[in-house]
Structure 1
Amino acid sequence: MHPGHDQIAPPSPAPEPAAPSRPGRRPAAWAAGLLVAVPSVVTGCRLLGTDAFTPVPQLLSFLPWLTVPAGLALLLALAARRRPLAGWAALVVAVTAWFVLPYGPDTTTARGPVAERVRVLTANVEFGQATEDLVRAVRRERPRLVYVSECDRACVRVLTAALAASHPHRAVVDGEGPTGSVILSAYPLTARPAIPAAMGMPGATARIGGRTVQLRLAHPVPPVPYLIHRWKRELRRVADFAAAHRDGDPVLLAGDFNASQDHAAFRSLLDAGRLHDAARLAGAARTPTWPREARLPPYVQIDHVLVSDDFRVRAVRFLDLAGTDHRAVLAELDLHAGR
């Protein structure tokens, strides 16, 4: 290079073109967002302890199954390289999976010797259609207490006649269709007021093993969109009954609760009366009881036997009865004498 000559800078390299996004990433990200939306809302309500309003109460029945769309959303978000979306989907999967765990303690605080062994059967016979099969189940399984929901007048007549020798005592709410219910007992009963509800929730006390035991059948209306407020109100009444006997007599509360452990109203009931779900104590908390005889297999447990701290649970089994869309629950319990 000679002196005096101007220096000419070499041309700057042309900027590299931006790497085109791979085809399919944007649709995958959109699909992931749509898939995680519903699980996010439902799991959020579960986290906040609220049943909110339609469609949340209905979708809470599917809560364990919401890990599937949330998991698919996570895979799609990873494939689309959307890290924030993938992180959110992973959080929803983790929280939903956590809530699948059984609710409440895994044992009772029953004290003293066993006063009596009690076998309890609860069944929704769907407008009385499963009455005959229920009679066969009672004769085969020999429960001492039988809680029957949706037992119309014809159902009560059949059960009373067929089981007169083994279960001569009963508490009845008379009604047709789903409004009738009955508690059949091998133990003498003293009538107690039914819990006010659109469908029958009869009550009684029984003298079992030297102790007075409070018996109530629970059958609140289902959480269909136009009945959500009534469903919550009736479950609250059941919770009020449980709270009134929290530190008193032993309690056996059973029936078709139309609610699972994922519903805040049901958890409030358990907490109000310091009650335990027998299925949870037997290691069967997520065994579905409804709906049978449908295109989908049963996916939610809404039929329960709830016990106070005076009981220990030996076993729980689920029975299929012909003619009803519910599985019956059979619980084998030990009633303890207390202090």
Structure 2
Amino acid sequence: MGIAAAEWTDSAERDEGPRGRPLAAWPSGLLLAGVSAVVGCRAADTDGITPVPQALAFLPWLLVPTVLALLLAALARWRTGLVWAVLALGALAWFIEPYGRTGAPAGPAVAGLRVLTSNVEFGRATDALVPAIRRERPDLVFVEECDDGCQDRLDAEFRETGAFPYRAAVPGTGSGGSVILSRFPLRRAAGVDGSMGMPGAVAGVRGHTVRLQLAHPMPPLPEQLGVWRRELGALRAWAAAGDGTPTVLAGDFNASQDHAAFRRILDTGLYDGARLAGAGRTPSWPARTAGTAPHFGAQIDHVLVSPDFSARRAAFLTLPGTDHRALVVDLTLHQRE
């Protein structure tokens, strides 16, 4: 008995840290501290500082380190860690619920339209976008990072053939260019100023005026967080100025529903079309992992609409040449009661 007790004591000492805590508790605590910082910012309705904004985009995936922390706490028999991990899991489950309503407007339907948005990554996916447009037959197309060559190609394929006779564009190279293609007549409207092109327009949709704005703010790079917040704030200001006019705001927002700056856009009265169609957590970026099981990624490409719209379908398309999946949403415009 004496030898066995000595062997057990030596083994326990080898498994403990410098203050007597089992070694498994230390990585558990570190994981929970990181997760708690991100969840705390989500609960406080703030995006915080790097690396919190970047981590918020992948909030549902924080379940993985949290479960690992729970297992490590159980292995260490660390009761505080167990309680901490359970609370973190509960908070994540609460915030993972998609943000916004799902119901349809009460008024009668007056027009249907299909919207497609695609970031073609410096124009590289233009060749893949052209057949996707032909196949999906959208009424409105929002194309981000559409450089001069991309715009020329889309003009040749669709504008000059009469398929999309109307356009609103910001020319540019690399990520600076963007374009809206429309089957409906467009009137010129001031777009939102940003580091990358964000054209705007007003469409006449079967006798109804619809405001259009392409979204493509700066991504939340560590050195560009201020620009990212400012440009999302400019999109919020545009959305808030709608004065009851039906609105479609679509594109690559470089933000998910877990970013406070994006939720402030929704809080102006807009709704996420993918959410309305039951696809509120489907990832759109990065395409390499978002398009294959287990569909790792974040939904940062959105079609936002005013309360006049309902959505019947949302489909995410993987296009070769870009790190974003294209998003197609079928909308119905309703008469306000």
Q: Which amino acid aligns with 1:243?
A: A
Instruction: Give 2:3's aligned residue.
Output: none
**Partner of residue 254 from structure 1, selected from 239, 250, 255:** 250
Aligned pairs for 1:1-339 (under 5 A) are 20=9, 22=12, 24=15, 26-108=22-104, 110-164=105-159, 165-245=162-242, 247-272=243-268, 274-293=269-288, 298-339=296-337
2: CA distance, partners of 1:192 / 1:125: 24
Aligned length, in residue pairs = 320
1: CA distance, partners of 2:91 / 2:296: 23
How far 1:209 moved relative to its partner?
2.8
1: CA distance, partners of 2:102 / 2:54: 27
Maintained 8 Å contact 1:115/1:210: no
Deviation digits for residues 69-116 of structure 1, max 9, x if unmatched?
1111112212222212211111111101211110111224x2422111
2: CA distance, partners of 1:104 / 1:47: 16
Deviation digits for residues 195-230 of structure 1, max 9, x if unmatched?
010001100001113210000000000001010000
Q: Which protein shows a greater Rg? A: 1
How far 1:334 moved relative to its partner?
0.6
Instruction: Give 1:6's aligned residue.
Output: none
Query: Secondary structure of the equivalent of 1:160?
Result: helix
Maintained 8 Å contact 2:289/2:297: no
2: CA distance, partners of 1:279 / 1:122: 12
Q: CA 1:80/1:293 → structure 2, altered by over 3 Å: closer, same or farther?
A: closer
1: CA distance, partners of 2:85 / 2:215: 37
Percent identity of paired positions between Structure 1 and Structure 2:
54
Maintained 8 Å contact 1:111/1:310: no
2: CA distance, partners of 1:176 / 1:298: 30
Maintained 8 Å contact 1:289/1:298: no
Maintained 8 Å contact 2:42/2:259: yes
2: CA distance, partners of 1:220 / 1:322: 23
Instruction: Give 1:10's aligned residue.
Output: none
Query: Secondary structure of the equivalent of 2:302?
Result: strand
2: CA distance, partners of 1:44 / 1:198: 30
1: CA distance, partners of 2:296 / 2:155: 30
How far 1:298 moved relative to its partner?
4.5
Query: Secondary structure of the equivalent of 2:197?
Result: coil
Maintained 8 Å contact 1:204/1:214: yes
| Cα RMSD, aligned residues only | 1.9
Q: Which amino acid aligns with 2:46?
A: T
Q: Which amino acid aligns with 1:299?
A: G
Instruction: Give 1:11's aligned residue.
Output: none
Maintained 8 Å contact 1:211/1:337: no
1: CA distance, partners of 2:186 / 2:220: 32
Maintained 8 Å contact 1:150/1:178: yes
1: CA distance, partners of 2:244 / 2:27: 54
Q: Which amino acid aligns with 2:28?
A: A
Q: Where does the alignment leave 5 or more consecutive residues of structure 1 unmatched?
A: 1-16
Q: Which amino acid aligns with 1:77?
A: A
